[in-house]
Amino acid sequence: MSLGPPGLSTDAERASLLSKIGYWYRDMDQLQNARLALEESLSLVPSQYETVKQLLATLIKLGDKKAVLE
């Protein structure tokens, strides 16, 4: 299932928006949705430092130690 919005022209644009969506979900304590959005963002552009930080913070809040180490 793709959470990304249609109509964006580049992977970088989609990844950026997904990263923001993930941040907002995490801020609203919807951690599973945040994780999905952040992981999809990183699947498009794996080198986004801020997105990696947000995903790690989300995984820590979820208590998923295995995923944090990976």
If you average pLDDT over residues 1-12, what whole number do you get? 64
Comparison of pLDDT for 3 and 10, the residue scoring more: 10
The band of 3, judged by pLDDT with boundaries at 50, 70 and 90, is: low
Neighbours of 56 (CB within 10 A): 13
Comparison of pLDDT for 7 and 28, the residue scoring more: 28
pLDDT in tens, 10-68: 889 999 999 999 999 999 999 999 999 999 999 999 999 999 999 999 999 999 989 88
* Range 58-67, long-range pairs (CB < 8 A, 24+ positions): 58/22, 58/26, 58/31, 58/34, 59/35, 61/26, 61/31, 62/31, 62/32, 62/35
Instruction: Specify the pLDDT at position 1.
Output: 46
Strand boundaries in 1-70, DSSP class E: none
Q: Which two tokens stand for residue 59?
A: 């995984």
